[in-house]
Amino acid sequence: MAQRAAAAALGLLLVAGVAAARPEIPWVSIPAGQFEMGAEQTPHAPVHPVGVGAFELSATEVTFAQYQACVDAGPCTAPHLEDGRCWVFDGRTWTPGPLPEDFRRPDAPVVCVTWTQARTFADWVGARLPSEAEWEYAARAGEAHRFAGTDADLCRYANLADARLSAQVGGFTTAACDDGHVFTAAVGSYLPNAWGLYDMSGNVAEWVEDTWNPFYTSAPLDGGAWTDGGPGRVTRGGAWSESPMSGEVAARFWDEPELAYDNLGFRLARDPMSAREARRRRRR
């Protein structure tokens, strides 16, 4: 018992008597502020003001290596790489099947995980999924760009469907430029936005906390998650396989929370240190 308590104090878990360290997460402090959320087109409408409190967001999407630490420790179940539950691009369309080895690099964003699996990992590292409002606020980073960090220089900032994907596979609506990757890239391979966040547009789409609502009518105005819609969960950011439009900072989509794809992962959010310390004191 004493050994387990000591390990917990150090942020470790004991697995078969061995302390398993939680992975290091690079955090970015996001300042409080207000922004105009959404766009004029459905389902991104209506544009509306939202106030967001200070929070922290992981600089990158969660990687295979980071996620595997949670699998090894016990709380997380393995990504659906071989069990036929992940929808994988087969060169023509998406079908259930094994994930190709090209995707499985330790520094690549973890994919083939459901919304529930993403939530479990977030809980394990003492974090959460961002709300949809937090996600868009951070992606915009106080700027008015169409994509995270840019308007036109897309292939330096984002891994979306591009000329390289079109040349190898075909059948995609793509950007005219070449971003250097056909499928996923190592996280942080492209330029960050103004707040130091990588891959907010592209690489993989990202689960957020919110349930799906087709319009922003009656959406929270305080930056919190909107959880009385459903049953789908919102995804944000676009992916290597998706048209540039999907990577726009206002673009929003959804999927069933227990489905998994080769172009869908997640990143983490957490409250500022002051809020986390206040909660710890209340629990004592």
- Tell me the pLDDT band of 80, cut-offs 50, 70 and 90: very high
Say what percent of the chain tops pLDDT 70.
Answer: 89
More confident residue, 171 or 274: 171
The residue with tokens 């971003």 is 179
Expressed in angstroms, the distance from the first to the final Cα of the chain is: 19
Q: What is the C-alpha to C-alpha distance for residues 51 and 42, in angstroms, rounded to an integer?
A: 22
- Sheet containing strand 94-96, edge to edge, reads 94-96, 86-89, 260-261
Answer yes or no: are the C-beta atoms of 193 and 141 closer than 8 Å.
yes
Answer yes or no: are the C-beta atoms of 246 and 160 closer than 8 Å.
yes
Q: According to the model, what pLDDT value does residue 159 have?
A: 97
Q: What is the C-alpha to C-alpha distance for residues 129 and 190, in angstroms, rounded to an integer?
A: 22
The rounded mean pLDDT for the chain is 90
Answer yes or no: are the C-beta atoms of 223 and 137 closer than 8 Å.
yes
Kindly tell me if the per-residue pLDDT of 197 is higher than 60. Answer: yes
Cα dihedral 244, 178, 208, 144 sign:
negative
- Tell me: the pLDDT tens digits for 154-187? 999 999 999 999 888 877 778 999 999 999 999 9
Answer yes or no: are the C-beta atoms of 202 and 160 closer than 8 Å.
yes
Q: What is the C-alpha to C-alpha distance for residues 86 and 18, in angstroms, rounded to an integer?
A: 31
Q: According to the model, what pLDDT value does residue 229 have?
A: 81
Q: What is the C-alpha to C-alpha distance for residues 278 and 211, in angstroms, rounded to an integer?
A: 28
The residue with tokens 């959460």 is 128
Phi, psi dihedral angles at 156 (to 5 degrees): -90, -15
- Tell me: the pLDDT tens digits for 12-48? 443 443 446 899 999 999 999 999 999 988 788 899 9
DSSP symbol at 61: P
Cα dihedral 181, 183, 189, 194 sign:
positive
Phi, psi dihedral angles at 68 (to 5 degrees): -60, -30
Q: What is the CATH number of domain 25-283?
A: 3.90.1580.10
Question: Tokens for 70?
Answer: 């949670």
Answer yes or no: are the C-beta atoms of 3 and 16 closer than 8 Å.
no
Neighbours of 281 (CB within 10 A): 7
DSSP symbol at 77: P
Cα dihedral 23, 27, 32, 35 sign:
negative
Of 205, 110, 207, 202, the C-alpha closest to 165 is 202
